[in-house]
Amino acid sequence: MAKVRGAVVVEKEGCKGCSLCVEACPQEVLALHKEVNSRGYHYSYMKNPEECIGCSNCGVVCPDTCITVYRVKF
């Protein structure tokens, strides 16, 4: 069975910490960072990067379009 791995890049400064991506992630990859960006928001980041399947749900629901998704099959 082909295995799928994904990765998410969150544009830290664009994130407003709404956590909609955290809710949308079926693999519980994302979480809000304990640190804040320059505008004071707890930005989203990959807490469990090895679980990501690159489904793009996080990017699709992000209101600020600050998530880029990559996926590779091997």
Partner 1 sequence: MDINDIIKPENLVYDKSPLQIDTIMHYCPGCSHGVVHKLVAEIIEELGIQEDTIGVSPVGCAVFAYNYIDIDWQQAAHGRAPAVATGIARTNPEKIVFTYQGDGDLASIGAGEILHACNRGENIVVIFINNAIYGMTGGQMAPTTLIGQPTSTSPNGRDVALNGYPMKMTEIIATLPGTYYVTRQSVHTAATVRKCKKAIKKAFQNVIAKKGTSFVEVVSTCNSGWKMTPVGANTWMEENMFPEYVPGDLKDNDIQKPASGN
CB of 17 to partner 1, least distance (A): 6
Selection from 48, 47, 55 nearest residue 6 by Cα: 55
CB of 15 to partner 1, least distance (A): 9
Cβ atoms of 62 and 38 within 8 Å: the answer is no
Helix (H, G, I), strand (E, B) or coil at 45: strand
Tokens representing 45 are 């980041």
CB of 58 to partner 1, least distance (A): 8
Query: Applying CB under 8 A, which residues contact partner 1?
Result: 5-7, 9, 13-14, 16-20, 23-24, 41, 49, 54-57, 59-65, 67-72, 74
